Structure 1
C-alpha cells in the first residue's frame, strides 16, 4: 500500500443532543460546510448521516470529513479564530464527539 501524498483526512463523528432541533442541526451543518470557504488549509468538506444496517454506530448519528494537504494544515485550521468560534458553538450542541485524523492509504493490486 502507498500513502496518499501529504493528504490528511479529519473525521468527526457526532451525536447531537436530543434538544437540538433539526433546524438547528441544519444551520450548524451549513456553518461547518462554510468553513472550507473561510479557512485556507481546509480543501474539501463532506458530511452524511449514519445509514448502517450493522447497528455499530454507538449512538453517533452524523459524520463530517474534511480534507487537508498536511497535518500542519489541520493544526492551522484547529487554531484559526473562525474555527475556534464555530467549534465552541458546534460542540455545545453535541452529546458525543469523536475526532480522528488519518493519512489515506491507497491499495495497489
Structure 2
C-alpha cells in the first residue's frame, strides 16, 4: 500500500448549491476560483460545469468544480494556502450548501 500523500494525481470535487445570488456573482466567483491555478503551485488544473442531468437528482447542487492535484499532500497545501483561505471567505457566503470529495482516478482494466 502506498504512503498517504504519495498516491499520485488526486481530483478534488466541489458541488455547490448557491443561495439567492445573481449569475454575475456566480461568474465572478468562478473566475476567482479558476485563478487559484495561477496562485497555488500544487493545483494543476481546474474545470467546472453546471448540472445538466435529466434525472433531477441534484438536490439543488447546480455547479461542479473539479481541481487536479499531484497528491493528497498537494490538496493539504492548497487548503492551507493563503490565497485559498482568502477565496473561501468570498465563496462561503454565497453558498447554501457544499459537498467536497477527493479521489484518485482509477482506470478499469478489462
TM-score category by the smaller chain?
over 0.9
**Cα RMSD for the two superposed structures:** 0.8
Structure 1 segments of 4+ aligned residues over 3 angstroms from their partners: none
* Consecutive unaligned residues in structure 2, runs of 5 or more: 1-6
Aligned pair partner of 2:18 in 16, 40, 56: 16
Q: Which residue of the partner structure matches residue 97 of structure 2? A: 96
Equivalences, count: 104
Instruction: Tell me the distance in 2 between the aligned counterparts of 1:7 and 1:56.
Output: 29
Deviations 1:30-83, CA, capped at 9 Å, x for gaps: 000000011000000000000000111111000000000100000000000000
Structure 2 counterpart SS, 1:92: helix
Q: Which residue of the partner structure matches residue 36 of structure 1? A: 37
Structure 2 counterpart SS, 1:55: coil
Structure 2 counterpart SS, 1:66: strand
With normalisation by structure 1, the TM-score equals: 0.93
